[in-house]
């Protein structure tokens, strides 16, 4: 049982993170990676000083760029069954799933917009 037709959901939704859709036969499977998980994953690669959260268009773009890696991570967790996915067939991708997988995030196309001065912390 493998997930097919894996894709980023660019449509409107209220989830705060990257929503991925896939198929297992006739059943739709949803995978989700929270924005904070994406932030930590990106920060672990960027090694930047200040924390700046990703916005929806940025994490969706990163999701498309890293779709093969995300598919492997989500598929591995999905195949472990309901015991590891309480809301089966929903799969929540955690940072621990990423680190255990050994997958590397490709940030080559990530564009960080400069934040307005009001968003910068004062020391």
Question: Per-residue confidence at 65, pLDDT binned at 50, 70, 90?
Answer: very high
The mean pLDDT of the chain is 81
What are the tokens at 14? Answer: 């209220």
**Domain for residue 78, yes or no?**
yes
- Residue 116 inside a domain? The answer is no
Q: Render pLDDT for 17-62 as a digit per residue (tens, 0 to 9).
A: 899 999 988 889 999 999 888 888 877 655 555 566 777 788 888 8
Q: How many independent structural domains does the chain possess? A: 1
Domain that holds residue 27: 4-109
Residue 123 lies in a domain: no
Coil, strand, or helix at residue 102? coil
The answer as to whether 119 is a domain residue is: no
CB distance 5 to 24 below 8 Å:
no
Is residue 44 domain-resident? yes
Residue 81 lies in a domain: yes
Give me the CATH number covering residue 53: 3.30.160.140
- What percent of the chain has pLDDT above 70? 76
Q: Which residues, 6 or more positions from 23, have their beta carbon under 8 angstroms from its beta carbon? A: 3, 4, 5, 29
Establish if 120 belongs to a structural domain.
no
Q: Residue 86 — pLDDT band, cuts 50, 70, 90?
A: low
């Amino acid at each position: 049982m493998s997930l097919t037709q894996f894709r980023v959901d660019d449509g409107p939704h209220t989830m705060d993170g990257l929503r991925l859709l896939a198929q297992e036969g006739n059943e739709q499977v949803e995978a989700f990676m929270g924005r904070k998980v994406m932030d930590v994953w990106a920060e672990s690669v960027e090694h930047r000083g200040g924390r700046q959260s990703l916005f929806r268009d940025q994490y969706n773009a990163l999701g498309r760029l890293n779709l093969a890696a995300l598919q492997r991570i989500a598929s591995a967790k999905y195949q472990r069954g309901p015991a590891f996915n309480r809301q089966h067939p929903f799969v929540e991708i955690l940072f621990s799933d990423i680190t255990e997988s050994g997958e590397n995030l490709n940030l080559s196309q990530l564009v960080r917009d400069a934040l307005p001065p009001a968003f910068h912390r004062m020391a």
